Each structure stands twice: as C-alpha cells, then as structure tokens.
Structure 1
Amino acid sequence: MPVLPYSTPPDETALQAVRLLNSKINFRRIVQSLGLPIAAGGQAATAAELVAKLSEFLQNRQSAIVKPDLSGGGWGSTVIHADAAEPVAHQLTRALVGQPERCNGWVFEEFLPFDAVPSVQMLVTDEGPSELFGGDQRVEDLSWAGMVTPAADRPVQERLVKAAFMVGDWLHGYSYRGVFGLDCGLLGDSYVVTEANVRRTGATHVAELARRLGPPGGFGHWRCDTRRGRLDLSFETAVRRLDRAGLGDHNAPARVILTTDAHIQEGVWRYAVLGQDGECVAEAEQQLHELLGIRPRSAAGSR
C-alpha cells in the first residue's frame, strides 16, 4: 500500500482535523460552515436528552436515523419511527442496549428515502485535494456493503465532486495528507452530505486491488459487495468454480477477486469484480451470483 503523502510527520493540527471530521456531530457543524447541505436533525449528549429531542423532532416527521457520534460501518445506527406501536422512548431504550453508557453522544437526522448514496473518494497532498474515484454505495441494514464505480452519470455528480473538494481544502488547511471519502444521499436533483471517512476504507482497498491486479492501465470499472450465498461451499470450492468459469483469468474482460476468506467466520462472501467496462463487469457479477448461490438485492438504500 502506498505510504500516505506526508512530507513531514503530521502534527497535532492534522490529528485534530481527523478527530473532528470523523465525529458525526462535528462533521455536521463543519460542512454546514462550508455551506454544504445536510439532512434536518440535531444532537444529544445523553440518552435522556436524546429521548426528549427526538420525541419533539418526530412530531412532524415520519422517522429519524440515530447514530453514535463516534462509530464506523453503521455500528449502533438505528431508525426510530414516529408511528410505531412502541413510543419513541421505548424504541430508543431497546436500540441503545449494548452501546456504552458513557459516550460522546449521538446525532439524529430525518431518515430520507434516498434514490442513491454515492461517495466521492479523494486524496489530499501538499498540492491540495484531487479526486481519486467516485461510486454508488451499496447499503444493507444501514451499513456499507459495497460499491459500484464509476458512479452513474447524473447532473448532480459535478456538485458532489465540488463538495468533496471543499472538504478536501478544509483538511488540507489543517495539514492532513491522505485519503478520505465524502458520502452523500440523493433525492432527485438535490443532495445532502451524510458523513466523511478520513481514512482508508473498503472502497479505497478495492481500488488498490484493481490497480495492482489489473492489466496495464488498471481496470476502469469495478464493483464490490458483501453478500450471503450458499453455506455448503468451501472457500476453495468457490475459487475452483470461478476459475473453471474463466472469472479468475488475469486476461479476461472481467475478473472476480474473493477479497477475504470471510465465509467460514461470518458466512458471507466478500468479492470484487474488476473489468474494462460496466457491461462486462455487471455480467460477470451475475455469473458470480449464480455460481455462489447469491440472491439479488436492491442497489439503492437509505441512510
């Protein structure tokens, strides 16, 4: 993996910037100060404050998503519904079981039926931010499951990239150097920014695999996912099936990589499909699903 592009060791300023932007409470404050749109919502420092504020917030909204201030991968996120049989307080009490009693607080936001949840991946160097790639995220159970890249061609995409550059300029000003991703939610021609991940992510990991394992020039299209499939297949059998189908061939139009042996430990297949065009990648993924007994799932999600 490439070393992050620090010309000198990072100081406390850079560390503080990472802490701030990876905090969901501070993320909302920072991107608002940059003029970027966010979902309606608020924050709470204690569970009692969260119950009070969320009960009032849901008086004229159908549902809200609640997220611990410091968390990743969707951990601790839950959706609270205004019209549920249980009162808001009871829903929250049940949802917060297992979360630390002392924490940094929570954010809550209106739960929006996004059409898509794209992400823009960036690199910040001494010269400033630059775009690495963009993609449409796949979400399951409020958690990141995978990505299809490049993102679908939409009129709003240019605005998303501009927003990512604004966040990148902010990080650059605080001496941060390295990769980060800005996640967004689309509603028609409008968008909101939902969070930043100032670190290497699952998406940047797969992008590096595509660069390392592809032909000269790399793969222009790839998609990755975490999916449940047949439980009676061993990892070795799955690899042999892919090889027999030609999906493990380095020179094939599309190539499948099982990115980790998570099947035994977690009962899921983590994979990436790499190729030169979107059509052959989509076809190879469908073939992969048939070989591993993976059922289809909607690509869009709400966060």
Structure 2
Amino acid sequence: MGAIIIGNQLVEETATGHDELPVEYRRYLGMVSHRLLWTARPGDVVVLPNRPHPAFVEHVWHTLGVEDNAAPQILVPPVGARDDLLLYEDRLLDEDFCAELGGIVDPSKTDVRAFFHDDVVAELCARLGVRGTPSRSFLEQSGTALVNSKSTFRAIASGLGLSVPAGIVALTASAAEAYIWSHLAEGRSVIVKQDGHGGGYGNEIIRSPGGPSGFGASRTITIEDRQGLDAELLGAWDRWSGGGRPVVVEEYSADSVPLYAEFSITESGPELVGHGEMRVGTSDDGPTNRGLVIPAIRATGSGRYQAFLDEAHRLVGALGAMGYRGSVSVDSILLPDGRILLNEFNGRTSGSTHVHILCRALLGEDALLDRVTLVRSNRALTNIPDALRRIRDAGLWFNRTGRSGVLLGGDDGQLIIIGSTLEETERIESHLEALLAPA
C-alpha cells in the first residue's frame, strides 16, 4: 500500500463559510484537484471530489508508464448535503466511505498526502488508524491555519529581517484606515488581504484616482477622499476581518512580476523543489492563475534572484523549526527596480507541485537546468478527447527522446509545454491557440 492522496482543495471554512467562493470557481477548483493524479504512483489511492475525465486518466497513466493493472485507485466519496464540487467534511467522513477506504489501506504502511491537512483530514486519519503526515501533531493544533496565514507570514518574515512589502497587520478598522489613507493621500495604492484566503480571492486593491492598479485581487476600488474611505470601511471591515481575524494591508506595487519558490520540508530540513514565474491575470470570476513559466526566465538574470531563494530558504527553515513538514510555496514579487519582495507563504500542495513532480519524473533531477516548462491554464478547453486528438495529430505530444512537447496537466484544460528555450515553448503555445480554438 502506498499513500492516500486527498484532493481537498480548500479548508472547510473557505469552501462553505464566511468567505465562501463563487460556485463556478469551486467547480473549477474541484477539477484542479484532478491534477494530483500526476503525483500518484502504483499502490496509491487518490480521493477526489468527482470523477476525472477517463481520457485524462488514460493520458496520465500512459505518460507515466503505469500499466492498467497497476494503476492507482481513484475513489470519490458520496455526495453530501451540498454538491460534489469539493471534498466537504460530510463527504470525507461519510461512514460508508471511511469503511471502503479502511478496507483498502494498511494502517501500518500508509501515509496521507492531503492538499490541506486540516481537522477533517486529521479525523479521517484517526478513523482509519493511519499515521498521516510527519507533522500531524503540529497540523492538528491549528498548524494548517498558521502556515497559510498572511499575518503570520509577515510576523515571521519581518522577525527574520527578510525583504517584504511595506505594510501592517491591522487589528482594528481605524488602524487600517490610517495606513490606507497615508498612501492614498500621496497618490499610491494598497492591497488589502484577508488573512486566510488564497489564490487572490479576498484581496482588494484600493487606489487613489491616479494610483496604480493591477492583478492579484478580486476587487479594485477607487477612493477620492477620506470621507469615501471611511464609508468604504463601514461595509468592508467585517468582510476583511471575517469576524475578528487580522487584516494585512500592504503598499501595492504596479508592473511587478509574481514569482514563487516551492520547498519540501522534511526532518532533514528544507529542500528546494522548484521555482518559477506566475502568469496572473483577471477574469469575470476574479483573479486567475493563467499558468507558470519554469524557471522564472525574466527574473533569474537578476543579481538579486539568488538572494530571494536564500531568503525563502530561511523562511521555510523557520516553519520547519516550528514543526511543519510537507510542501510550502513562498510567493514574491519582482519590482521594476529589480528588488524582489517576499509577500506570503502557503503550507500546502500548490498549483506547481504536480508540474515539478511530473518534470522530475520525465526529465530527471536537472529539469530546471536545461528545460523550460510553460504552463497554460485554459478553462475554455472542454472537449478533452478532441483536444488530445488534435495535439497528437499535430505531432506536438511530449517526446521522451527529444524531451519536449505538450502534456495535458488536468482535465480543467491546463496545458504543460516543455522545450529547450522560452521562445520554443511560446511558439508551441501560439500553435496550440490556433489548434485548439473553438470551431
């Protein structure tokens, strides 16, 4: 028996509580969980909120060289009180599902790899009698909230003297108002971050009429005077604080390039898994991760990039010293003046985890050294079998010998393009745009 891989994209509160996400975005996140198939190996059990497309499943096992009789099992719990979009508590802890899973696993040999190792996953581990993750004790004491908290990030990073955006952790509306107005009065902008949200949701950009705006937030508002700011805060503070949580307010920098560095923290310490640039935009649904460039070609030439990786390593080392074990991604921004500022961490499986695992499986440990991987999110790609056929017929399939080509990252439409240079991957991306355009 290998691992139980759980695609619970969100903690219960974010999925259903005060900060509940729009239904279409929850549907999208449920499909994103299907990408975890790339991290599975024979003997594993993958628990997903709904069934991935059979053509995508076949594509994954074929690419990884997994025989049909050795393929990991895919389990989907019964639908609970809500829907089958995400793995809610009543689904993961359903008695019949727990019994089915318990009949498969060997408690003495099974690890659990959850997207979020929260209280629900801890209870599932207890019912199954499995040991869970190496940091189970830490995570069960609200550790998950700690290593995904934006205010905790600012406290630890600032305490270590790392490079972070100017900002404050506001505990009161008056403190937030004073800091925001100090920027608006000078024609600058701020970004307000809800403490526990992710993916840009819960972030709001507040700008003066001449201040910069951009990506990374689900809402942008323009404030003309202090009375307007006071009026905005009357309705916004409860939304930002979610009933009493800290609120992060930072100076917003326009024209920045978002970067990340992903680590795996073990008993031996942090190991750099990979790093890259996030291709971020906006849509009608809010902030959108449009993909990745691995490695971060536009940033690695900067003399400060290695310093960023070193600071990120120090930061995750602190999380390891606190008792956290597992995947953690450190986000940052590259400013036009060349500075790189760390702006949050996320102690969970990230949107890049499956890409780095896949690239290492196909390209070896030197995947970051001589290959460029371009990840494109394409939520309009709905006919998976047709898309796979078109890519194959165009001769664009990933080729192990040439170590380049196209893979389907998920049946949400994500495409993974591997080549020797950024220019090569961008040419393939342009070809795909025409190839997969709706008729």
The TM-score normalised by the length of structure 2 is 0.57
Name the structure 2 match of 1:297: none
Question: Is residue 145–residue 196 contact of structure 2 (8 Å, CA) maintained in 1?
Answer: no
Please, which of 180, 185, 189 is the counterpart of residue 63 of structure 1? 189
Q: State how far apart, in whole Å, the 1-side matches of 2:237 and 2:373 are.
A: 36
Say which SS state the counterpart of residue 395 (structure 2) adopts. Answer: coil
Q: State how far apart, in whole Å, the 2-side matches of 1:275 and 1:93 are.
A: 51
Name the structure 1 match of 2:431: 287
Cα distance per residue 1:241-299 (max 9 Å; x no partner): 1111112244455222232233xxxxxx32211234444323222211222239xxxxx
Say which SS state the counterpart of residue 247 (structure 1) adopts. Answer: coil
Q: State how far apart, in whole Å, the 2-side matches of 1:80 and 1:7 are.
A: 40
Matches within 5 A, 1:6-155: 8=134, 10-12=136-138, 18-46=144-172, 50-83=176-209, 84=222, 87-91=228-232, 101-141=242-282, 142-152=287-297, 153=300, 154-155=302-303
Aligned pair in 2 of structure 1 residues 98, 43: CA closer, same or farther (>3 Å)?
closer
- Answer with 1 or 2: which has the greater Rg: 2
The structural deviation recorded for 1:93 is 6.2
Q: In the alignment, does 2:321 pair up with 1:180?
A: no
Question: Is residue 25–residue 107 contact of structure 1 (8 Å, CA) maintained in 2?
Answer: yes
Q: State how far apart, in whole Å, the 1-side matches of 2:311 and 2:332 are.
A: 10
Please, which of 358, 371, 375 is the counterpart of residue 224 of structure 1? 375
Name the structure 1 match of 2:356: 207
Say which SS state the counterpart of residue 254 (structure 2) adopts. Answer: coil
Please, which of 408, 424, 428 is the counterpart of residue 258 of structure 1? 408
Aligned-pair identity (%) = 27
Name the stretch that deviates more: 8-17 or 183-192: 8-17
Q: State how far apart, in whole Å, the 1-side matches of 2:276 and 2:323 are.
A: 26
Say how many residue pairs are matched. 285
Cα distance per residue 1:150-208 (max 9 Å; x no partner): 12222111101101110122022112222211111112231211111111101112222
Say which SS state the counterpart of residue 37 (structure 1) adopts. Answer: coil
Contiguous gaps of at least 5 residues in structure 1: 263-268, 295-303
Q: State how far apart, in whole Å, the 2-side matches of 1:179 and 1:119 are.
A: 13
Cα distance per residue 1:221-252 (max 9 Å; x no partner): 212122465x7x73322222111111224445
The structural deviation recorded for 1:31 is 0.1
The TM-score normalised by the length of structure 1 is 0.80
Please, which of 372, 377, 384 is the counterpart of residue 235 of structure 1? 384
Aligned pair in 2 of structure 1 residues 236, 113: CA closer, same or farther (>3 Å)?
same
Name the stretch that deviates more: 113-122 or 159-168: 113-122
Cα distance per residue 1:102-132 (max 9 Å; x no partner): 2523211111024422211112121111211
Name the structure 1 match of 2:215: none
The structural deviation recorded for 1:209 is 2.6
Contiguous gaps of at least 5 residues in structure 2: 1-38, 41-110, 114-131, 210-221
Say which SS state the counterpart of residue 223 (structure 1) adopts. Answer: strand
Q: Which has the higher contact order (CA 8 A, sep 6+)?
A: 1
Say which SS state the counterpart of residue 180 (structure 2) adopts. Answer: helix
Name the structure 2 match of 1:193: 342
The structural deviation recorded for 1:58 is 2.5
Q: State how far apart, in whole Å, the 1-side matches of 2:252 and 2:331 are.
A: 15
Q: State how far apart, in whole Å, the 2-side matches of 1:76 and 1:93 are.
A: 17
Aligned pair in 2 of structure 1 residues 160, 55: CA closer, same or farther (>3 Å)?
same
The structural deviation recorded for 1:96 is 7.2
The structural deviation recorded for 1:216 is 5.8
Letter in 1 for 2:406: V
- Return the structure number with greater strand share: 1
Letter in 1 for 2:433: H
Q: State how far apart, in whole Å, the 2-side matches of 1:112 and 1:183 are.
A: 15
Aligned pair in 2 of structure 1 residues 85, 104: CA closer, same or farther (>3 Å)?
closer
Question: Is residue 375–residue 417 contact of structure 2 (8 Å, CA) maintained in 1?
Answer: yes
Letter in 1 for 2:419: G
Question: Is residue 332–residue 341 contact of structure 2 (8 Å, CA) maintained in 1?
Answer: yes
Question: Is residue 135–residue 325 contact of structure 2 (8 Å, CA) maintained in 1?
Answer: no
Q: State how far apart, in whole Å, the 2-side matches of 1:242 and 1:63 are.
A: 43
Aligned pair in 2 of structure 1 residues 38, 209: CA closer, same or farther (>3 Å)?
same
- Return the structure number with greater helix share: 2
The structural deviation recorded for 1:57 is 4.1
Cα distance per residue 1:64-109 (max 9 Å; x no partner): 1111011011111111112236523455567779778525232111
